[in-house]
Amino acid sequence: MFGNITIKDIRKELGNLFRQQRTAHKLSQQELGELLDMSKTTIHKLESGQNATLDTVLKVANHFDLLDKLLEGIKELQADTNIDPLY
């Protein structure tokens, strides 16, 4: 099981995932920011696990076609931790 998962852990994992996708697509933070109409600083903060808006997370996830993967991860987390889906 997962034990205690913090929001900080989730932000860090999302940041790592997005960094991996960006580098796999051979994009700099600046290039990705320009593609998504965001600043390089916003991309850097997201990848560093700093606070990011839901809009930013969804925009980047959608760009890399990761929305289904994120939703599946949320469903697995709920099943493994018995979290109320309305929480």
pLDDT, position 83: 55
Q: Which two tokens stand for residue 64?
A: 């890399």
Q: Does residue 61 belong to any structural domain of this protein?
A: yes
Q: Which domain covers residue 75, as residue numbers?
A: 7-81
| 15 touches 44 (CB < 8 A) | no
Separation between Cα atoms, residue 44 and residue 33, nearest integer Å: 9
pLDDT exceeding 90 applies to what percent of the chain?
63
Q: Does residue 87 belong to any structural domain of this protein?
A: no
Model confidence band, residue 56 (pLDDT cutoffs 50, 70, 90): very high
Q: Does residue 77 belong to any structural domain of this protein?
A: yes
Above 50 in pLDDT, residue 1? no
